[in-house]
Amino acid sequence: METPTMRQRFEEYILNLQEEIITSFETLDPNAPKFKRDSWLRAHQGGKGVSGVFFAPPPTDASPGPQTILEKAGVNISVVHGMLPPAAIKEMRADHSSIPYDEKTSLPFFAAGISLVVHPRNPHAPTVHANYRYFEISEKAAEGEGTGKVVAWWFGGGSDLTPSYLYDEDARHFHTTLQNACNQHGSELYPVFKKWCDEYFYIVHRQETRGIGGLFFDDLSAEKHARLSDNVKRPRSSEEIFDFIKAVGNSFVPSYLPILERRMSMPSTDQHRRWQLLRRGRYVEFNLVYDRGTKFGLKTPSARIESILMSLPETARWEYMTDMGSDLESEEGRLIAVLKQPIDWAGLEK
């Protein structure tokens, strides 16, 4: 019996994780519509995927819509392969020098990942995002010889929280859960990846972060890493890094579900809803202007647009010169202060 490849093992893991996450939300709100499962194939190239999307259909008459815990959510899997053009290979060699390159040769690639975004209905319950992915490049095999030798591979991912209203206990819980998952594999990982997250999810034109952060990392492989020390404990082999990915992936449900359960039934006002929609507007701004995955997806030929834009909220708001958040003593202003100056939540005293 052949040993499963990393491709096969990673695909199996993210499919199981997808089911675990969707089931946890469906169990929390058993009277809500189920997530819509949608399997697809990548036309003209290689690959497949499974989308799990939640939405509550709008009412067809004057009655109020269903009061579900979630307003919109998606937990999506993609497993794709094909040929990587020389221009893309040249760019990737900056972090992966083992990739062979000449200006005329394309190379086979494989990419698999899980990506999720959850927008709850209650303004006090935060939006959450996470994704975990695996990428590999192979040598070009001779005709009829199947897949060539893997010449480069790496993992990436992260998880981050975007509240409309700031609750310190929620922020500490989310960050501490991620920190505990990271610390199993090296004490340097959490502080480096937390800082990377704050830098990545930064809305430059607003001079504020999208949310209160979490983890962001990319290019984890056996090669030297630009952000990690070379002389401290960290996962280096594909097995060690895969174990790390599973640790942080498995931490998603315990990091987020307790927060959602705590906030999903809190009383809210029209002002709370207005602020939630304004914050969602900032979420849209980041995703469409800065997010690398969204921009890459929209430029990809035959892209599955519905999956790419799954991350956007169902409703959002923009106000000209809004005054909400300008009073630093208000609940809204307290959030803005933290978005402009990120906090070490895992190290914060209770």
Mean of pLDDT values over 97-120: 88
- 268 falls in which pLDDT band (50, 70, 90)? very high
Is 195 part of any domain? Answer: yes
The pTM score is 0.93
Residues 156-175, mean pLDDT to the nearest whole number = 98
Rounded mean pLDDT of the chain?
A: 91
CA atoms within 13 A on the CB side of 62: 0
3-class SS of residue 130: strand
Per the structure, the count of domains in the chain is 1
Mean pLDDT of 161-176: 98
Do the Cβ atoms of 220 and 132 come closer than 8 Å? Answer: no
Residue-wise pLDDT tens digits, 231-250: 889 999 999 999 999 999 99
What are the start-end ranges of the H helices in 168-302? Answer: 168-183, 189-200, 238-250, 252-263, 270-289, 292-299
Name the residue type at position 292: R
For 313-332, the pLDDT digits (tens) are: 999 999 999 999 999 899 99
Count the Cβ atoms, other than its own, within 10 Å of residue 144: 5
- pLDDT tens across 35-72, in order? 999 998 876 667 899 999 999 877 776 666 668 999 99
Predicted confidence at residue 146, as pLDDT, reads 57
Establish if 18 belongs to a structural domain.
yes
User: What whole-number distance in Å separates Cα of residue 97 and Cα of residue 35?
Assistant: 42
Residue 1 falls inside a structural domain: no
* Tokens of residue 131, six digits: 């994704």
Q: Write the CA distances from 163 to 119, 167, 252, 265, integer angstroms.
A: 10, 9, 16, 15
Pairing label, strands 107-120, 70-84: antiparallel
Helix runs in 158-232, H state only: 168-183, 189-200
Distances (CA, A) of 155 to 49, 212, 329: 19, 23, 42
Q: Which long-range contacts (CB under 8 A, 24 or more apart) does 291-300 make?
A: 293/115, 293/131
In a domain, 232, yes or no: yes
Is 129 annotated in the active site?
A: yes
pLDDT for residue 66:
67
Average pLDDT over residues 278-307: 86
Q: What CATH number does residue 19 fall under?
A: 3.40.1500.10
Instruction: Report the length, in residues, of the chain.
Output: 350
b/e map 55-70, b = 16+ CB within 10 Å: ebeeeeeeeeeeebbb
Q: How many CA atoms lie less than 13 Å away from 282 in the CB half-sphere?
A: 24
Q: Comparing C-alpha atoms, which of 339, 348, 332, 167 is closest to residue 258?
A: 167
| Residue whose C-alpha is closest to residue 276's, from 72, 130, 4, 113 | 72
pLDDT in tens, 187-221: 999 999 999 999 999 999 999 999 999 999 999 99
What's the confidence (pLDDT) of residue 65? 63
Is the model's pLDDT at 349 over the cut of 70?
A: no
CB-based burial label for 165 (10 Å; 0-12, 13-18, 19+): buried
pLDDT reported for residue 108: 87
Domain of residue 292 covers: 6-54+66-340
The confidence score (pLDDT) of residue 205 equals 96
From 124, 129, 185, 225, active-site residue = 129
Q: How far from chain centre, in Å, is Cα 211?
A: 13
Beta bridge partners of 215: 159
Least reliable range by pLDDT among 224-238, 266-280, 294-308: 294-308
DSSP at 234 = -
